[in-house]
Amino acid sequence: MTYTTAIFDLDGTILDTLADLASSVNHTLAQHEMPGRSLDEVRQALGYGMKYLIGHSVPPKTPEALIQQLLTEFKAHYAVHCMDFTAPYPGIKELLATLHRHDIGCAVVSNKGDFAVQELIDHYFPHVFDAVVGERTGVRRKPAPDVVNEVMRGLNVTRKSCVYIGDSEVDISTAANAGTDCISVDWGFRSRAFLIARGASHIVSTTSELLNAIVK
């Protein structure tokens, strides 16, 4: 069956945002004379939202009030620098154009702050997605199914007609919790071996493979 709607994760799935995220993390840490983090350390902390990222980048026993301050500073820096090095993964724009030609709806659901999600999508993929939602206050983030369910209701589609696409264990759990099929991509922030260990049932390595998995 061909799906009618493809719901995508953002970071590590359609956009390579790692360098800009790491730069903003390390800029923020440096302002407080805290040790910086490597690209791999930042990569491993991605997927659970911005507060999780900062909380796992600061030294142990950092007070919660200071973590909140750093989070605010990180968001301010990232808002200005979120497009310094970020770029779509190879083949993503062509994939989305092909899905559009097949009348397959596309949406984005991300744990990144909604302010950044909207800005990035407007810049890199204007007028491409039918729904775009990031992390918002008072709404449970992934892997809770709340936002995916919200998007499906808004687009008036059923869970059986949707597929959720992402690069991490968070996305695997999100799809399971929302009752949708899941396709994992191994070009993002988690390795194929890691995804298999976390229960991924369908993994693709190229956008051509992804297209064939969506349009059957």
Taking residues 9-16, report their average pLDDT: 98
pLDDT in tens, 108-138: 999 999 999 999 999 999 999 999 999 999 9
Among the residues of 58-204, which ranges form H helices?
A: 64-81, 92-101, 114-124, 146-155, 169-178, 192-197
pLDDT of residue 4 exceeding 90, the answer is yes
Residues 179-191: what's their mean pLDDT?
98
Determine how many CB atoms are found less than 10 A away from the CB of residue 202: 14
pTM: 0.95
Average confidence score pLDDT of the chain: 97
**What domains can you pick out in the chain, each with its CATH number?**
5-16+87-214 (3.40.50.1000), 18-81 (1.10.150.240)
- Could you check whether the bond before residue 90 is cis, i.e. omega within 30 degrees of 0? no
- The model's confidence at residue 216, banded by pLDDT at 50, 70 and 90, is confident
Q: Do 102 and 215 meet the contact criterion of CB atoms below 8 Å apart?
A: yes
Phi, psi of 81, deg, nearest 5: -115, 15
Say whether pLDDT at 1 is over 80: no
Beta bridge partners of 7: 107, 164
